[in-house]
Structure 1
Amino acid sequence: MKQKFKDHIKNRLPFLQKSKLLIACSGGLDSIVLAYLCHVNNFEIGIAHCNFGLRGVESDEDENFVSTIAEKFQVPFFVTNFETEKYGQDNKLSTQMAARELRYQWFETLLSSHKYDYVLTAHHKDDNLETFLINLSRGTGIDGLTGIPEINRNYVRPLLPFSRNQIMEFATKNEIEWREDSSNSDTKYLRNKLRHNVIPELISINPSFLNNFENTLDYLKHAQDFIRSQMYRIRKEVFEYGELDTIKIAIHKLQKYDNPKKYLYFLLKEYGFTAWDDIIRMLNAQSGKQIFSSTHRLVKNREYLLLCPIIEDVPDRVYHIPEEENRIMIPSGMIHLKEVSELCDTDLKTIFVDKEKLKYPLIVRKWKEGDYFYPLGMKGKKKLSKYFKDEKLSLLAKERVWLLCSGEEIVWVINYRADNRFKINPETKQLLKVTIT
């Protein structure tokens, strides 16, 4: 195994040979063997151990054992103690998930503060199978069936090609000591139940089960790569990227494909959506229909689905601009105010007004129902709700509209239309240019 490990690093993970590596070491068989292999191959390593405080004296003995290994290898040793159960209760997490979250938070701190390049974890072939079966039992797409990634950002798993039996044989042959975690035999945990009750049965049926499973993972990864390349092409066709992180999904382009539901699944799953039947019904729903994930929002707007992040907003937020101020930042940009001597070209982001008609401080606020203004270039007044409907503004666009006001009167529907009451005329003496960037 020592030579196979060395060949695997050389062929698949050569960057590890010249990197500064932090080994996550519990004291169990797998992580001790990983530390040993890295040490005998002269990698630059440090050892990190988490004491989760879940097994009393046994946890402390694990900590002391790993400390002894680090001292024997003459490498840096890092240890931390967690109140895992309390953290899980406070954050409504299972003990296993709490431990996972705590250790990865700590690893990130060590990577940053001690300038390590990668964290190595000792996941192996059997762990891959257990994860596959867990995801399969919970219901998952292809992403959940492609196994544990060998490289995930700064986390690398060099033992994935090796089975637990291979690791055990290597440790026994080389007289490597390790600690047994008594909780690993507790079958109240799903992973342990699979490890002790299900997987041995599968292997007894077919002794080549683990190797065949590894081949299946390769096929699934190839299929995943093909799906990703196809979805990249489709995304380029149906996605239109707009302002303020909004993506427009063209419904008519999407409906050219058979079974749009499966395409919406691959297009939207990374944004946290799961209500696929509701989403497919949106294609034929009225404008304004909305569906939320934990992070994003999907809105039907005429011939499009609009996708955008959920942004915490305060609808009654108001900004004041005293006369001596010449700029102010609002969520949609920076407003600049400048007295000028002559007109130049205007656009949706620039207006010119008669400064003497303004009442200070100017006010910037969100629009609300009942607001009206006198659109520049039109006769009479108009409710903003009617103006937005005529302009075919989406629900998202309407929510993001800000107004520049003089007292109760609207001076500018920012980014859309100025108000007729403040326009310049031949008698204007003070010309104010207002721009948003």
Structure 2
Amino acid sequence: MLKEFREYIEQNGLIKGNEKILLAVSGGIDSMVMTDLFIRAGKETGIAHCNFTLRGEESQADEEFVAKYAADHNISFFSVRFDTRTYATERGISIQMAARDLRYSWFEKTRKKEGFDLIAVAHNLNDNIETFLINLARGTGITGLSGIRKTRERVIRPLLFASRKSIEDYSRNNGIAYREDSSNADTGYTRNKIRHLVLPLLTEINPSVENALNDTSKRLSDINEIFTAFTGSLQEKLIRKDKSFLVVNLEKLNPFITNNAVMFEFFRPFGVTSPVLNDLMNIISGQTGIEIRTGSHRIIKNRNELIISEIAPGQNISWNYNTAGELSGSPVISSVRELTITDSYRIPAAGNTACLDREKITFPLTIRNWQHGDFFFPLGMQHRKKLSDFFTDIKASLIIKENTLVLVSDDKIAWVMGKRIDDRFKVTDKTRKVLEIKMKP
């Protein structure tokens, strides 16, 4: 198996040169065999262990077992304990999803802090097959049927070539100790249902079902590379970034709307799943203003466009600035200049820059969210207008409205930021000094 291990790493370019590898080691058979193989391959490694505190004394014994192994083999050891149940409850996610989030986040922090190049996890060929069947049962696109990836960013999976049986044989033949996780027998978990109940039935139909499913997953992975390149180029052509959100051109997307496979992969990065896809198709053909929310994004129909924004906790902004210098340090401001008017001065045409009569500005200035009931005198108008009506006039989408800030001087809106200044603060032929404020893009 050591020969296959080395060949798999080399053929797939998992490790380059003398890169240092942080091994994710639970103490189970897969991770202990992986650790042994790395030691025999002569790679520089460290061991990282997560204690999820889900199995009481058993979890504690796992941690002690891995710590002793690291000490016996003179390998750097790093460990952490998580209150996994509380984390899952607070976020409304499953224990399995919570554990996954926690471990990968901690692995990456540890990798950076301790100077490792890569993180190695011990998924094997059978894990890949189980993932394929789980995704198939739940409904997925071609990516979900492509199996577990060999690499993802700094994470490598050097055991994907090895079946569970070959790992068990290697452990037995080389006297590798490991810890049994009692939860692996619990068929209350979806993966264990597949492993202990579904696969044995499929094996009765085809004794070589594991090889057949693995080969199918590989072929789909190859197809997915081509398909991903296609949808990626489509995204580049049809999606433009506009500040904090993305805009999809529906007229250009129209030739592909009837192709569910293309639509699924096109919108998958924005949290669109199989059940959500039908809702997405409905808003595409629906009226302006209707929206859907995925687990991670909000998608709104706006005339011939879709506006996509990440879902983030609501933020009430109200920042006060006592001087122009303080204002220049605002997280949404790129520059502030106080200028004396000269014959050569020209007001910038860019909408993200406001030129205000300095003598009409009273500090402190406030940058805040706009509020219902707010009004101002749009540049060029002598009567006031509610901001809600102004947004209607300029055909602002819901996303734009929600993300618009206002600059307030002495309880008067001087600038609807990025949109229009107030006529009362405009530069005139009597203006001697200008306060020029530029927003960050």
TM-score (norm 1): 0.84
Shift of residue 349 of structure 1? 4.3
Partner residue, 2:124: 124
- Supply the AA of the counterpart residue of 2:189: Y
Q: 1:362 to 1:35 in 2, by over 3 A?
A: closer
CA distance in 2, matches of 1:282, 1:334: 37
Decide whether the 8 Å contact of 2:147 with 2:217 is kept in 1.
yes
CA distance in 1, matches of 2:57, 2:321: 62
Q: 1:183 to 1:434 in 2, by over 3 A?
A: closer
Secondary structure in structure 2 of the residue aligned to 1:207: coil
Is 1:304 the equivalent of 2:305?
Answer: yes
Decide whether the 8 Å contact of 2:356 with 2:434 is kept in 1.
yes
CA distance in 2, matches of 1:337, 1:99: 50
Secondary structure in structure 2 of the residue aligned to 1:18: coil
Shift of residue 345 of structure 1? 1.7
Q: 1:233 to 1:75 in 2, by over 3 A?
A: closer
Partner residue, 2:25: 25
The range that moved more, 248-257 or 381-390, is 381-390
Decide whether the 8 Å contact of 1:121 with 1:156 is kept in 2.
yes
CA distance in 1, matches of 2:237, 2:98: 41
Shift of residue 56 of structure 1? 5.0
CA distance in 1, matches of 2:370, 2:376: 11
Q: What are the within-5 Å matches in structure 2 for residues 235-250 of structure 1?
A: 235-242=235-242, 244-250=243-249
Shift of residue 424 of structure 1? 4.9
Partner residue, 2:400: 397
Deviations 1:251-309 (A, max 9, x none): 21122335065544322221123432332222233322232334322222222111223
CA distance in 1, matches of 2:147, 2:284: 34
- Supply the AA of the counterpart residue of 2:396: L
Q: 1:226 to 1:58 in 2, by over 3 A?
A: same
Shift of residue 384 of structure 1? 4.1
Q: 1:176 to 1:396 in 2, by over 3 A?
A: closer
Partner residue, 2:418: 415
CA distance in 2, matches of 1:377, 1:429: 17
CA distance in 2, matches of 1:383, 1:370: 7
Aligned residues: 434
Decide whether the 8 Å contact of 1:326 with 1:338 is kept in 2.
no
Decide whether the 8 Å contact of 1:290 with 1:297 is kept in 2.
yes
Shift of residue 23 of structure 1? 2.4
Q: 1:216 to 1:116 in 2, by over 3 A?
A: same
Decide whether the 8 Å contact of 2:141 with 2:264 is kept in 1.
no
CA distance in 2, matches of 1:373, 1:90: 42
Shift of residue 397 of structure 1? 2.8
CA distance in 1, matches of 2:86, 2:299: 37
Decide whether the 8 Å contact of 1:260 with 1:280 is kept in 2.
no
Secondary structure in structure 1 of the residue aligned to 2:172: helix
CA distance in 2, matches of 1:87, 1:381: 50
Partner residue, 1:269: 268
The range that moved more, 344-353 or 32-41, is 344-353
Is 1:434 the equivalent of 2:436?
Answer: yes
Secondary structure in structure 1 of the residue aligned to 2:143: helix
Shift of residue 342 of structure 1? 2.2
Q: 1:380 to 1:257 in 2, by over 3 A?
A: same
Decide whether the 8 Å contact of 1:22 with 1:118 is kept in 2.
yes
Secondary structure in structure 2 of the residue aligned to 1:240: strand
CA distance in 1, matches of 2:76, 2:25: 12
Please, what is the CA RMSD of the aligned residues?
A: 3.3
Q: What are the within-5 Å matches in structure 2 for residues 26-425 of structure 1?
A: 26-55=26-55, 58-85=58-85, 88=88, 92-242=92-242, 244-259=243-258, 262-274=261-273, 275-310=276-311, 312=313, 314=315, 317=318, 319=320, 321=322, 327-328=327-328, 332-334=332-334, 336-342=336-342, 344-346=345-347, 347=349, 348-350=351-353, 352-358=355-361, 361-378=364-381, 380-425=383-428
Q: 1:327 to 1:292 in 2, by over 3 A?
A: same
CA distance in 2, matches of 1:316, 1:17: 49
Decide whether the 8 Å contact of 2:124 with 2:161 is kept in 1.
yes
The range that moved more, 166-175 or 325-334, is 325-334
Decide whether the 8 Å contact of 1:321 with 1:328 is kept in 2.
no
Decide whether the 8 Å contact of 2:51 with 2:80 is kept in 1.
yes
Shift of residue 163 of structure 1? 0.9
CA distance in 2, matches of 1:32, 1:363: 58
Deviations 1:228-248 (A, max 9, x none): 122123223322222x13222
- Supply the AA of the counterpart residue of 1:276: L
- Supply the AA of the counterpart residue of 2:286: A
Deviations 1:47-89 (A, max 9, x none): 3344445555554554454445434433334444555555555
Q: 1:114 to 1:289 in 2, by over 3 A?
A: same
CA distance in 2, matches of 1:351, 1:358: 12
Q: 1:430 to 1:220 in 2, by over 3 A?
A: same
- Supply the AA of the counterpart residue of 1:415: G
The range that moved more, 123-132 or 3-12, is 3-12
Q: 1:325 to 1:261 in 2, by over 3 A?
A: same
CA distance in 2, matches of 1:65, 1:362: 60
* Higher Rg of the two aligned structures: 1
Shift of residue 160 of structure 1? 0.9
Gaps of 5+ in 1: none
Deviations 1:364-408 (A, max 9, x none): 444444544444445655444444333333333333444444545
Secondary structure in structure 1 of the residue aligned to 2:196: helix
Shift of residue 34 of structure 1? 1.7
Decide whether the 8 Å contact of 1:376 with 1:417 is kept in 2.
yes
Secondary structure in structure 2 of the residue aligned to 1:306: strand
Shift of residue 313 of structure 1? 5.2
